[in-house]
Amino acid sequence: MKNRFYFILLVIFVFLNIGLGSWGLAETSEARYAEISREMVLSGDYLHPTLLGIQHYHKPPITYYITAIGYKIFGINEFGARFFLSVALILQLFFVFKIGRLLFKEEKIAFFSALIYFSFPVVLIAARNLTTDAYLATFILWSIYNWLQYKKGKPAFYLYAFYAMLGLAFLTKGPVALLPVIVFISCWKWIYKEKLQFSKHTLLGNLLFLIVAGSWFAAIIIDKPQLWNYFIDEQIVNRTIAAQNFHRDQPFWYYLVLAPLLGFPWLVFIVLDLKRKFRAILKEKSITLILVITIVSSLFIFSAFSSKLVLYILPIYSFISLLAGYILFTSTGKWINIYVRVYIGLFSLLLLGLIVGGLGGWVLLDVKYAILLILFTAGVGIYLIKYPGIDQRFQLIYLGMSFSICLLFTDALFSSGNPYMINSAKELMGFAKQKSGKDFNRLIVYDYLLPSPSFYLDDEIVTVENANFKSQREIRFEKAAFYKRNFLDLKQKEDMQRFKDLMREKGNILIERKGHPMNDSLDYILKNFSQCEEMNKWIIYY
């Protein structure tokens, strides 16, 4: 079973990287992380992250560092930006398998859990978009694995590794990284009635955590003492209870509705199965109950936070997959047949979507690759349904894995052929370079924060802020006025004059978003451009 699992990991890793660099960076999150990492590599400053030339301290730096390594190996491109997301997912699957084996002492449950984790839509989303979440989930799982190894009697090395991985998780996303781990360990100790124990290893481990987690924070606060209040007030307190300031606030029920969709179809089946077995689970007070309480508690805690985005709850799905692996292992043939039919329905919907979307012209797909995908999808589905030698549970697991691989292919085909649907500016920048030719001077983005043009042009761009909150920048930490070369606030008189001067320079290109056009009072400035083109959500002047 173990060798089979490792072979499957290799297969998944290969499929994850096919076409990984074939589509442009998605705005704004993925493009933001990619551009900050690019600027780190070019400047050699790994202490102070910058975005479009302005210092950017919204997140700790681990994601930037990992992405920078990708650039060093593969060059500054989309594949280099995303490669280690594939590595992160493989590590997540590996640790889900290892944790499942430690918790249930049954390799089949561990095997099921890992491949169920791979079949969750939210996991695939995280593995295809450069953000902090995939790396955070990896460090969380790594830390829990080390903690369990120490609990099972392994040397103190695993306890220190637990604290070190927890420190790296903190350096990936800050204090929220500790939440899933604290909830899981607290539930474990509550159910098994274990008391907190302190030893020299615990004290030294906590010291190791503080050194790792606080290293970057300490270094930049020494350099800029005012960052202390910024991290506490802006990045912790306000994001937790006043997310409306960041335009990320959502109602309490947001995750309660979204979680089943992000974990479809397994989360629905888990709820139905737990409903039948709930009394027995409560009575047993076993690993299953710990997982249930961890999942429910974490979901409600995340729901209580003001700031909510889809991938914030990714770490919860590792616990869900472990619970699902156990439920599948103990399920009857009747339930498994229902699960199989659901996946057959999902395969059919995918095929129908590809055919209707491609033939109807609603989406652009490379025809030959779309046909190959359809044939592959149909072939895998028929083989797994008809082949008599596969146990029903493995049949279901392989169906889920194959469907996820098909989704990865579909994503690559769709994203590369439909850049504006994924909010990529790559095609827009290609058009700008083509039209401007050798006379190109500077690109100016009006009232919108757009990081990827700098990535694709390999040059500085000018961001002009007027009334759109998305174009606002944190300039409080800029000691010199050099940043004004790349950022203009039209509410400032001198910046308005600089903007007008830029509009008169030859070779400049201006782009604006249709939803945030230039004020009527500034329309006369556009007469300095001889050409204008509309490209989906954008208008480009040159």
**Domain edges within the chain:** 2-330, 333-417, 426-541
Per DSSP bridges, beta strands 538-541 and 461-465 are unpaired
- Other C-beta atoms closer than 10 Å to the C-beta of 251 total 10
Give the pLDDT score at 313.
95
Distance of CA 216 to the CA centre of its chain: 22
Place of tokens 């604006």: 512
Give the C-alpha separation, 398 to 393, whole Å: 9
pLDDT in tens, the chain (542 residues): 789 999 999 999 999 999 999 999 999 899 999 999 999 999 999 999 999 999 999 999 999 999 999 999 999 999 999 999 999 999 999 999 999 999 999 999 999 999 999 999 999 999 999 999 999 999 999 999 999 999 999 999 999 999 999 999 999 999 999 999 999 999 999 999 988 888 899 999 999 999 999 999 999 999 888 888 888 767 766 665 555 555 567 888 899 888 888 888 888 778 877 777 777 777 777 899 999 999 999 999 999 988 888 899 999 999 999 999 998 898 877 778 888 888 888 888 887 877 777 666 666 766 667 667 767 766 776 676 666 677 888 888 988 898 899 899 889 988 988 898 999 999 999 888 887 767 788 999 999 999 999 999 999 999 999 988 888 898 888 887 788 889 999 999 999 999 999 988 888 999 999 888 888 788 888 888 888 899 989 999 98
Give the C-alpha separation, 341 to 485, whole Å: 59
Give the C-alpha separation, 185 to 203, whole Å: 17
Cα–Cα separations (whole angstroms), residue 96 to 295, 322, 504: 15, 7, 59
- Other C-beta atoms closer than 10 Å to the C-beta of 388 total 4
Per residue, what are the HEC states of 430-486?
Answer: HHHHHHHHHHCCCEEEECCCCCHHHHHHCCCEEEEECCCHHHCCCCCCCCCHHHHHC
Mind listing the pLDDT tens digit for each residue in 349-387?
A: 887 877 777 666 666 766 667 667 767 766 776 676 666
Return the SS3 of 376.
helix
